[in-house]
């Protein structure tokens, strides 16, 4: 009788081990299905925060690039050689009004982008706690 009890217990242990193995394969899926509302919200919040941080960084980089391009364009306006480095634009070919208008326009664009950059950096630091 004692031997029978031992065999039954061994079989029970073996069947539970098999059951545990089966359950471990489904555990990730089951865990996902039975997550509570707090866990679901936390997962969603993490995804939203990560996406937003990446887009914020990209936007800041885009603004910095735009400022560099505008600054280069403004500097290139000072190059008055039309064909090559040795030739000079004749005074009669130079339109001062157009130059001033374009220079001021680019200057305003640069200033606007600098303001956007300052706001974006401050907001990024506030929202994500990191320095950029």
User: Which has the higher per-residue pLDDT, 111 or 84?
Assistant: 111
pLDDT at 93: 76
Among 10-14, 37-41, 44-48, 108-112, the range with the most confident prediction by mean pLDDT is 108-112
User: Which has the higher per-residue pLDDT, 59 or 81?
Assistant: 59
Whether pTM exceeds 0.75: no
pLDDT at 116: 98
Residue 11's pLDDT band, with cuts at 50, 70 and 90, is low
Position 64 pLDDT exceeds 90:
yes
pLDDT at 21: 52
With b for 16 or more beta-carbon neighbours within 10 A and e for fewer, the 115-126 pattern comes to ebbeebbeebee
C-alpha distances (whole Å) from 30 to each of 15, 24, 40, 43, 117 are: 20, 9, 14, 16, 46
User: Which has the higher per-residue pLDDT, 6 or 87?
Assistant: 87
Among 13-22, 31-40, 71-80, 117-126, the range with the most confident prediction by mean pLDDT is 117-126
Query: Using CB atoms within 10 A of its CB, is residue 63 exposed (0-12), middle (13-18) or buried (19+)?
Result: buried
């Amino acid at each position: 009788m004692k031997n029978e009890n031992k065999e039954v217990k061994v079989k029970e242990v073996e069947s539970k081990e098999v059951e545990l193995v089966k359950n471990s394969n489904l555990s990730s899926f089951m865990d996902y299905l039975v997550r509570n509302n707090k866990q679901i919200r936390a997962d969603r919040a993490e995804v939203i925060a990560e996406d937003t941080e990446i887009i914020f960084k990209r936007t800041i980089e885009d603004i910095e690039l735009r400022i560099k391009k505008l600054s280069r364009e403004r500097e290139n306006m000072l190059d008055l050689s039309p064909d090559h480095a040795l030739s000079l634009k004749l005074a009669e070919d130079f339109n001062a009004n157009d130059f001033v208008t374009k220079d001021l326009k680019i200057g305003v664009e640069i200033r606007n982008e600098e303001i956007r950059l300052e706001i974006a950096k401050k907001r990024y630091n506030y929202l994500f706690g990191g320095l950029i």
